[in-house]
Amino acid sequence: MIRFEHVNKTYPDGTVAVADFSLEVPSHQVAVLLGSSGCGKTTLMRMVNRMVEPTSGDVWIDDDRVSDLDPVKLRRRIGYVMQSGGLLPHRSTIDNVATVPLLGGSTRRAAHARARELLELVGLPESVARRYPSQLSGGQRQRVGVARALAADPNILLMDEPFGAVDPVVRNELQAWLLQIQDELAKTILFVTHDVDEAFLLGQEVLVLRTGAEVAQQGTPAEILLEPADDFVHHFIGGSRRHLHTEVRDGRRLVVDADGRVAGVATDPTGPA
């Protein structure tokens, strides 16, 4: 469980990154913070592992207030995946994955055995273990990033636009894969993205944020799609692109948006016209 209680982050120059934010992410759920860059979503995420200290308010993980915990130990019990993959460029794949268990005092042998298990879990072949991050593809690097975040078997995963730097094909593949391993692992995940489709695909709960991490709307993807709270949310999630109807063109029933652009094919032949 992750809980934010009225957190505020104001920088010394008066910039308000987070005005007043509260949220509870129940255990084993995926919550997505969705917003444009600069809305404070990454700041919120970094409060969980104390990379950013709130000016006021509290963050709790499970039954601990994070400000009561030693930051170094706290970070070792939270998995963290960054956009860049953030791997250590001078360590081989297997050493990168073994980082957190080693920092936590595991022996090298045990940490490497654990790292090999995880490489298998994230679907990477044995042959990448000895390679350095710069020798991997973008998609492989992100998988290694996830493997490393899982290595110490944390309850909580923080994912900061983890698939933002890879091409759309690989991104779709990684998203599907994440859903699949989440079925098995059931971690509590806080996921940050500016990609609406990604948010709706992955999140059980989605928060649309405006500047200052103000919650414009919070709900399931279906709730937000069906009842956008206001114009901001309506436009952010795609505006007229989300108003779909079907049309028959050249004998096929197509799904078309409000501007007449084709969005897909209707596979239900008896559906209403």
Partner 1 sequence: MNLAWVSANWPRIWDLTVQHALIALVPVVLSLVIAVPIGWASHRSRLARRTLLPFSSILYAVPSLPLFVLLPVILGTRILDPVNVVVALTVYGVALLVRTAADAFDTVGLATRDDALAHGHSPGQVFWRVALPLAGPALLAGLRVVSASTLSLVSVGALIGVPSLGYFFTDGYRRAFPTEIWVGIIGTVVLAAVFDLVLVAIGRVLLPWVRATDRTRA
Evaluate whether 243 touches 257 at the Cβ level (below 8 Å).
yes
Identify which of residues 86 and 238 has a Cβ nearer to partner 1 in the complex: 86
Residues that bind partner 1 (CB under 8 A): 46, 49, 51, 72-76, 80, 82, 84, 86-92, 99-100, 103-104, 131-132, 134-135, 148
* Those residues with Cβ within 8 angstroms of residue 13's Cβ, 6 or more apart along the chain or in another chain: none
How far apart are CB 135 and partner 1 at their closest, in Å?
5
Q: Which two tokens stand for residue 33?
A: 């913070």
Identify which of residues 90 and 108 has a Cβ nearer to partner 1 in the complex: 90
271: DSSP letter: S
Rounded-to-integer distance, Cα 246 and Cα 86, Å = 44
How far apart are CB 50 and partner 1 at their closest, in Å?
9
Evaluate whether 151 touches 94 at the Cβ level (below 8 Å).
no
Q: Which residues pair with 160 in a beta bridge?
A: 192
Question: Starting at the edge strand that comes first in sequence, how are the strands of the sheet with 244-249 ordered?
Answer: 244-249, 252-257, 262-265
Rounded-to-integer distance, Cα 33 and Cα 41, Å = 6
How far apart are CB 87 and partner 1 at their closest, in Å?
8
Of residues 257, 258, 259, 255, the one with CA closest to residue 268: 255
Identify which of residues 50 and 234 has a Cβ nearer to partner 1 in the complex: 50
Q: Which two tokens stand for residue 251?
A: 């004998």
127: DSSP letter: G
How far apart are CB 88 and partner 1 at their closest, in Å?
6
Helix (H) or strand (E) segment spanning residue 196: helix 196-202
Identify which of residues 160 and 198 has a Cβ nearer to partner 1 in the complex: 160
Helix, strand, or coil (residue 122): coil
Identify which of residues 144 and 216 has a Cβ nearer to partner 1 in the complex: 144
How far apart are CB 269 and partner 1 at their closest, in Å?
51
Identify which of residues 51 and 215 has a Cβ nearer to partner 1 in the complex: 51
How far apart are CB 267 and partner 1 at their closest, in Å?
44
Identify which of residues 105 and 125 has a Cβ nearer to partner 1 in the complex: 105
How far apart are CB 212 and partner 1 at their closest, in Å?
23
Q: Would you mind telling me the total number of residues written for the chain in this entry? A: 273
